[in-house]
Amino acid sequence: MKRSRASMLAIALLALPMCGCPRFPRPEDSLEPNDTTETATALEVGVPVTARVVPGNLDIFKIAAGPGEMLVFALESQGEEDCAAFTVTGPDEAELFADQHLFCGDRDFDAPITAEGAVLDTGTEGRYMLSVPAEVAGDYFLTIKELGQVDNIFDFSWLYRLTATTTEVSQ
Ligand SMILES: [Ca+2]
Ligand SMILES: [Ca+2]
């Protein structure tokens, strides 16, 4: 009896990696630590960075923009659980965009808070185009937070490529 229970446990342990569930821990990226605006990763216009966000560890990026520009963050999924929430703040700490959903895939149910002219385009699978008006000159901060499912047993992570660009807004 003991033996069969042990073999059942062995089968369960062997089956676990095959169930497709996300597993933890997953390695962090080389940009860490970038969990606060003070330690934010500085972006250069048009130069992509690849990073991984995990629950409980924000990824924060900064880029100088403005005045009179549109700042666009292009985020392309490179795999794992695309389950992110975004926030963009301006030089005066004004919130220009803030996702409000708490779990994967709920963005459509809990609409983000957006400043006038700020838009998140999710029209292409695995790609986000987040545009915010940079009316004031200074540093703009993008915060990426990895969410989960309501019933998550294992933590998620998301591998992404981020490119920031600016365009002049015609008057
Ligand atoms: Ca990270
Ligand atoms: Ca981080």
Compute, in angstroms, the gap from residue 51 CA to the centroid of ligand 2.
Answer: 9
Residue 161 lies in a domain: yes
Coil, strand or helix at 59: strand
- CATH number, position 89: 2.60.120.380
Give residue 57's domain range. 23-168
Residue 44 lies in a domain: yes
Residues 142-168: tens digit of each pLDDT: 999 999 887 766 778 999 999 999 999
Structural contact between residues 8 and 16, judged by C-beta atoms closer than 8 angstroms: no
Q: Which helix (H) or strand (E) holds 114?
A: strand 113-114
Residue 8 lies in a domain: no
Residue 45 lies in a domain: yes
Compute, in angstroms, the gap from residue 14 CA to the centroid of ligand 1.
Answer: 30
pLDDT score of 20 more than 60: no
pTM: 0.85
Q: How many domains does the chain have?
A: 1
Q: Quick one: which ligand is closest to 35's CA?
A: 2
Structural contact between residues 62 and 34, judged by C-beta atoms closer than 8 angstroms: no
Compute, in angstroms, the gap from residue 38 CA to the centroid of ligand 2.
Answer: 12
